Structure 1
Amino acid sequence: MCGRFTQYRSREAYLEAFGDRPEREIAYDPEPVGRYNVAPGTRVLLLNERDRALHLDPVQWGYSPVWWHKQPLINAKSETAATGKMFKPLWQSGRAIVMADGWYEWKRDGKVKQPYFIYHQNGGPLFFAAIGKAPFDKEDENEGFVIVTAASDKGLLDIHDRRPLVLTPEAALGWMSQDTTPAQASEIAHDGTVPAGDFAWHPVTKAVGNVKNQGADLIDEI
């Protein structure tokens, strides 16, 4: 699953991965976002396409439609989200991207749980597939978003059996595109992911378990 991640680069650093494509309606801002411990229930900068242009909107992480009377959901499985009652409408018209640098997972060793920070080996930005209640610029109508997850494989299985569905920049553009059909989005979710072998990870401080802790030292290897 994905229960915490980082979004600390500047928006420009993330958007550079897409080159000049496509048109964007996003104000230039070179300042780092600076979030080293993004938690559910907080607003997250969510990349999405509207009117054939990219937009960046602050949207709450956690999906809770008006008829849902339980805790907001924060993840959706890629294997079932496209067809299940809860997420099918979001898969059809609410596909978006969470720009990130890495995510945290806790590995249990006996009675002890050790957090790990997982990131791309080349240090580059990551693009998590997400789905939510569009349009994302209408705060009063928005019901939040969830991060799409996939089954882990290779070495990542040693940390956790699920991981965020991380897309390549090209696949991320296709995922968000208004021209992409739900069936094509399913193909992207299957074929456009970053391989598990491209990730690295290391143990980090247990201070990441407290959402009040937000310093850059949270991602340092211990």
Structure 2
Amino acid sequence: MCGRFAAGDMTQAQMLEIMRGFLDAPFLADDAAPHVTGYNVKPTNQIQMAAMIHDEPVLTTARWWFVPHWHKKPVPEWKATTFNAKIETAPEKPTFRTAWKSGRCAIPALGYYEWTGTKGNKQPWYITVKTNQPCFFFAGLHSYMGDGLRTCTILTRDALPQIKDLHARTPVILTSDQVEPWIKGEIGTTEAQNALGAGWDGQFKFHPVRKFGMKDNGPEMIEEFHE
């Protein structure tokens, strides 16, 4: 977890406009590889992220499967499962600790998926939060590789009581007032581990959805479904 999420179809220009509402400064865009859109975003996809790059707030993209900057072999040869990172341990783990200090990012999403039930008969659920914004932001970490590629991970925490029956962990979802201080590195480790994502309990919306495959990617994926 989180291994699938919905990004919707927002363009770079639309996302730039959204980001300008979170920071009291112009938000720049770079010419990184195009990001994946739709409702079935998977690990290793190129996804949008907002981060401070050379002290400027930038909207860019990154490969969703974190690889530390010190890994010198080709990125696909990194075998550890690092599309998620636990917020409780990321600050000290060699894989993530540099990014924790200087590589924080915010990853836009509409919602994410979890599965319940027995193996072979899993029921997918779509989970989002009540917000007036057109999207929310996962707290993430990113790295910059020697060949110019960026990679990223989504931080997770213990699930809040409202959704703990769906999964024991949940992605860390930033509140609107946390986006700017998070990507600027202004939130300390203890505060981050205690406060990030903790304010959403009672604000989640979730429902079962139709079972879907790897190639499914339409808005019908997030529609409520009961057998």
Length-normalised TM-score, structure 2? 0.81
1:35 to 25, 35, 38: 38
Deviates more, 1:71-80 or 1:188-197: 188-197
| Residue identity in the other structure for 2:209 | V
The answer to whether the Cα contact below 8 Å between 1:152 and 1:161 also exists between their aligned partners in 2 is yes
Deviates more, 1:104-113 or 1:148-157: 104-113
Mapped to 2, the partners of 1:108 and 1:15 lie a distance apart of 40
Structure 1, unmatched stretches of 5+, are 28-32
2:200 — aligned with what?
195
Aligned-residue offset at 1:141: 3.8
SS at match of 1:112: coil
1:184-208: CA deviation from partner (whole Å, max 9, x where unpaired): 154134224242221110001111x
Length-normalised TM-score, structure 1? 0.83
Aligned-residue offset at 1:81: 0.5
Listed as ranges, the matches of 1:1-222 within 5 Å are: 1-10=1-10, 11=12, 12=14, 15-16=17-18, 19=21, 21-26=24-29, 34-65=37-68, 66=71, 69-109=78-118, 112-122=121-131, 124=133, 125-134=135-144, 140-142=147-149, 144-177=151-184, 180=186, 184-193=188-197, 194-207=199-212, 210-222=213-225
Query: Measured at CA, do residues 187 and 18 of structure 1 come closer, stay the same or move farther in structure 2, by a change above 3 Å?
Result: farther
Mapped to 2, the partners of 1:100 and 1:8 lie a distance apart of 7
2:33 — aligned with what?
none
The answer to whether the Cα contact below 8 Å between 1:115 and 1:205 also exists between their aligned partners in 2 is yes
1:72-108: CA deviation from partner (whole Å, max 9, x where unpaired): 4110000110112221111011100100110001112
Mapped to 1, the partners of 2:114 and 2:206 lie a distance apart of 10
Query: Measured at CA, do residues 16 and 80 of structure 1 come closer, stay the same or move farther in structure 2, by a change above 3 Å?
Result: same
SS at match of 2:99: helix
| Residue identity in the other structure for 2:202 | G
Percentage of pairs with the same residue: 28
Mapped to 1, the partners of 2:221 and 2:16 lie a distance apart of 21
Query: Measured at CA, do residues 153 and 72 of structure 1 come closer, stay the same or move farther in structure 2, by a change above 3 Å?
Result: closer
CA RMSD of aligned residues (A): 2.6
1:121-158: CA deviation from partner (whole Å, max 9, x where unpaired): 34642110111214xxx771435111000100212111
SS at match of 2:167: coil
Mapped to 1, the partners of 2:41 and 2:208 lie a distance apart of 18
